[in-house]
Chains A and B, each alone.
Chain A
């Protein structure tokens, strides 16, 4: 029988370099075996081997697969293999209306779904030229910053666990639970929130919710301080992260990296400051950056970012005005649900928007926000109909992962988990 190509992920670890039977060698293995890496068998102690890490590996934060060429325990080369969570969200977008796509954005970076919602609707609003009421902009900022804190909390917990600190994970998930409770009251769902609408948000923030956010913000810095002391003064944690996964400023820029990784390499670039959107220009916050470019500075950048996010949320709570939460143009946004059930006009508008969409003018627009991983942007091309002609997701995890082979080269196998942890990839976003 003719031997087919070996399917992805079916090769046993350690033997991946040996082709199965007479079958063709898979392309990814051929890519590993080029001129700069050659196998020699002269001395048994000098053997190089290929280690297949993932896709089912707890330290790879999802279904990331790495093929690692090792000399003893030292990493010679890494070839990442993506696509295990590829669900074709860009294709799906071309086949649903602008509103129907909002729930799909939840599933991209599933640690900060609300920030994805905000990024998507901002791109649609830019394309369609929709002005959003100021109250709704403040609510979006609060939601996006809470999402950033929640995402960084999961990152901090899992990264600390990757290098051996179990306590932090439990503490961080306890904090995150409080945010999820807030999101439950704010949006009606704990996780896949689908909160924003084109032209506003789904429902208003109640007094009760504002109080919950206030309570969370009041106690959060102290809780964070505890963890910062626990890890920042911990010999083991520092030894495992300091100088590990170094990335120079020049490489970080040339690879197009964004977010905490770029800021940890000494570039204080933040879209909230540099290409401001929503009401960030009216809020005071700092952009933390460190010049060292290693895993430890990425830790500090993210911890400081959480504090800045808490500051931003506090200012929003103080400044948020009363007012409408949706744009006044009924042809551009879905009507309020309670009015759809009781009024004729709203019922007609709801029918038109749901069935025919909001029809932005022909053209293309790109809008990006500073997500928790970096620049999260949507590039939308409209042909004037109710569906996007083409929607491209600029996902920060995908671009940031490209730096992984560079960061890990020359380090030990055990450092790879610390480096992956510091990159903080979310495969739902990287694989789209």
Chain B
């Protein structure tokens, strides 16, 4: 399955694929940020691959000078029973990532969660609000520079 996916992806997206990596049997393909929607659409629509189910979107703060954030898309093909990970790199200076809500409707809340926790802005998202934290909260709690103990006064409390 691994060869088949790469065989299909290479000719169509030769410039978009930055890296492929296999660890513990899982294939991770790193693609350019601007091409993520095109790659996702291709993986969904291709008759042989049919990655029809988006299982998860993972935001990661690698805390490094360049490409600080990563977004991992966890795709599953019900037809082939195969799991594929797509990864995009996001720089702190430009937190925008194109949304994949148009490809899988289920991306809606998953992208909201990544936005809530890391501040990654999914461009074109129909309803990009915080999902767990209160609306008036100003920070992104899963970033590495947010302290475990929280920031005093950051949560709005009703007056006594």
Q: Is the CB of B104 within 8 A of A27?
A: no
Residue of B56, B131, B157 with most chain A CB atoms under a 10 A cut-off: B56
Q: Which of B78-109 contact A (CB under 8 A)?
A: 78, 81, 83, 85, 104-106, 108-109
Q: Is the CB of A28 within 8 A of B129?
A: yes
Q: Is the CB of B24 within 8 A of A129?
A: yes
Chain A contacts for B132, CB-based, 8 A? 82-83, 86, 431-432
Q: Is the CB of A255 within 8 A of B105?
A: yes
Q: Which of B114-156 contact A (CB under 8 A)?
A: 117, 127, 129-136, 141-142, 146, 148, 156
Across the two chains, which residue of chain A brings its CB closest to B74? Answer: A366
Could you tell me how many residues of chain A have their Cβ less than 8 Å away from some Cβ of chain B? Answer: 49
Q: Which of A7, A86, A368, A394 contacts B158 (CB 8 A)?
A: A7
Chain A contacts for B78, CB-based, 8 A? 253, 267, 269
A258 to B135, CA, bound (A): 29
Q: Which of A92, A363, A381, A402 contacts B24 (CB 8 A)?
A: A363
Interface residues of A (CB under 8 A from B): 4-5, 7-8, 10, 26-28, 31, 82-83, 86, 88, 90-92, 95, 126-127, 129, 251, 253-258, 267, 269, 274-275, 363-366, 368, 375, 377, 379, 381, 390, 392, 394, 398-399, 401-402, 431-432
A381 to B61, CA, bound (A): 11
Q: Which of B1-9, B11-19, B47-55 contacts A (4 or more CB under 8 A)?
A: B47-55
A28 to B135, CA, bound (A): 9
12 contacts between A and B (CB under 8 A): A8-B134, A82-B131, A83-B132, A86-B132, A92-B148, A254-B104, A257-B106, A274-B81, A379-B74, A399-B55, A399-B110, A401-B109
Chain B contacts for A255, CB-based, 8 A? 104-106
Dominant SS at the A interface?
mixed
Q: Is the CB of B24 within 8 A of A4?
A: no
Could you tell me the distance in whole angstroms from the C-beta of B30 to the nearest C-beta in chain A?
12
Q: Which of B72, B130, B135, B141 contacts A379 (CB 8 A)?
A: B72
Tally of A-B Cβ pairs under 8 angstroms: 110
Could you tell me how many residues of chain B have their Cβ less than 8 Å away from some Cβ of chain A? Answer: 43
Q: Is the CB of B141 within 8 A of A5?
A: no
Chain B contacts for A267, CB-based, 8 A? 78
Chain B contacts for A83, CB-based, 8 A? 130-134
Could you tell me the distance in whole angstroms from the C-beta of B80 to the nearest C-beta in chain A?
10
Chain B contacts for A432, CB-based, 8 A? 132
Across the two chains, which residue of chain A brings its CB closest to B54? Answer: A256
